[in-house]
Amino acid sequence: MYDVFSLPAIRFPEGFVWGSATAGHQIEGDNIHSQAWHNEQQPEFYRDDPERATRAPSGKACDHFRLYRDDVELIASLGHRAYRMSIEWSRIEPVEGRWDHRALAHYLDLLERLVRKGIQVFVTLHHFTHPLWFERLGGFGKADNRRFFERYLTFLLPQISPMVSGWNVINEFNQWGGLTAGPTVAPLKFNMLRTHALGYHLIKRYSSAPVSSAHAFIHWFPRRFHDDLDRRMTDFADFTTNEFFFHALRTGELVYPGVDAEYDPEVKGSLDFWSVNYYTRHMVDARLAGLDGPRFAHKLLQMIPIRFYLEEMYPEGLTANLERLRDYPVYITENGCCADDDRFRIVYLALHLSALHEALERGVDVRGYFYWSLMDNYEWTTFIPRFGLVAVDFQTFRRSPKTSALFYREIIRDNGFGGETVRRYLDALPTLPGPVA
């Protein structure tokens, strides 16, 4: 780990947007009409973990749907100036073609409360979850199903638009289908690009706030630096998860290995900013079917006691990634780490904000940063990884801000920080919890 106590003092540009991010299904609880909820009830969901040692259904999650008023107060008390959240389509349209006006009123109240606190709201319209009925009709696997999403947005957008400061049409579809995916996933990738473009143009009818779709921006790295095959497959993974997306939005050309390219003028220029979700780098190993190779043993941080969350802090990857996005403003819409020991989060924040600042100095127009996540939550299959600035007691749903939340609050207040700031919140670097269980 680095010496975060000696980090040089940095300041961010005037008006830099500071906030945190969440997603509906991960915090609300009882999202019963979604395909995710349905899947969590199936025995297959627990196939690899029949004892349910790590896997769990989302259940009440953070009970945010009930506690949202308190959570708005919490966000404001932590000094956040912005908040990225998602709206659950399956609550608003639980049955095909029928609007639930109470669910809509709930979201309108949440948005209004945030706006009244002076918090800029970034809304994600599709964050992995959608109604079960939509899934049963084939979901986004069928191009024709875009009309359902269009009908939903046409209902929703005019109502919420006045309260929204930034938009994500879809979260992280660039990685759907996996890294090694061959031509079979091209139709899904192309359909998602077109769904994104559809959302972009619809939003433009009602809102002047900037629009994008959040991009899971993995920094791919050859496991063996000088191995030609690892290097080529690194480029391949980057093409199929990152560059196809950037290229399509820039040019309208949908290009994917193994299929003929298509041109769609609706996709061309369908963004006002790049929305970057960055966590870490991944090693590409050409000799593995899945390409995703092990990280370097000496850099593995086992921040929580389960095998599948071995992490590596690689802040340089953020700088390198941002350098590819010089043509539009950028918001970091997710960045964070899961750790039981909150000191890791302080180190992670300090290093990644320093890396972000480096990109600013190199001329990338980064406008804002949303830490993932506001609070500990349901991480799609499990409650074990703790990403939150705020701890949640999943029995009582009591929220308790961690030291990292106070550190982040000071960064926001000062619009910058340095090693001296870190010293006030961290007495010593965290130690690794030992061998992998």
Which residues of the shown chain bind ligand FCB in the complex (CB under 6 A)? 23, 26, 171-172, 216, 277, 334, 372, 379-380, 387
Encode 44-70: b = buried (16+ Cβ within 10 Å), e = exposed.
ebbeeeeeeebbbbbebbbbbbebbee
Most distant pair of Cα atoms in the chain: their distance? 59
Residue 126 pairs in a beta bridge with 170
Min CB(336)–ligand FCB separation in Å:
7
Is residue 14 within 8 A of residue 119, CB to CB? The reply is: no
Both tokens of residue 309?
């969350």
Query: Which of 217, 417 has the CB closer to ligand FCB?
Result: 217
Query: What amino acid is encoded at 372 in this protein?
Result: W
Query: Which of 377, 421 has the CB closer to ligand FCB?
Result: 377
Query: Which of 207, 335 has the CB closer to ligand FCB?
Result: 335
Is residue 174 within 8 A of residue 163, CB to CB? The reply is: no
Both tokens of residue 248?
């399509």
Min CB(261)–ligand FCB separation in Å:
28
316 is catalytic: no
Per-residue DSSP letters for 174-227?
GGTT-SS--GGGHHHHHHHHHHHHHHHHHHHHH--S-EEEEEE--EEEESSTT-
Min CB(392)–ligand FCB separation in Å:
15
C-alpha–C-alpha distance, residues 36 and 23, integer Å: 13
C-alpha–C-alpha distance, residues 29 and 88, integer Å: 11
Both tokens of residue 434?
């030992």
Could you say which DSSP state residue 243 is in?
Answer: I
Q: Please tell me the chain's helix, strand, coil percentages from 3-state DSSP, rounded to the nearest 5.
A: 40, 20, 40
Min CB(28)–ligand FCB separation in Å:
13
Query: Which of 340, 379 has the CB closer to ligand FCB?
Result: 379
Min CB(144)–ligand FCB separation in Å:
27
User: How far from chain centre, in Å, is Cα 215?
Assistant: 8
Query: Which of 88, 358 has the CB closer to ligand FCB?
Result: 88
Query: Which of 157, 216 has the CB closer to ligand FCB?
Result: 216
Of 40, 93, 135, 172, which residue is the catalytic one? 172
Query: Which of 387, 425 has the CB closer to ligand FCB?
Result: 387
Min CB(347)–ligand FCB separation in Å:
18
Min CB(403)–ligand FCB separation in Å:
21
Cβ contacts of 362 within 8 Å, gap of 6 or more = 319, 323
The residue among 383, 35, 372 whose CA lies nearest residue 216 is 372
Residue nearest to ligand FCB according to CB distances in the complex:
23
Query: Which of 93, 172 has the CB closer to ligand FCB?
Result: 172
C-alpha–C-alpha distance, residues 8 and 235, integer Å: 34
Sign of CA dihedral 223, 296, 293, 354: negative
Min CB(85)–ligand FCB separation in Å:
11
Give CA separation, 284 vs 47, 81, 150, 176, 373, in Å. 27, 38, 37, 18, 27
Which are the catalytic amino acids? 172
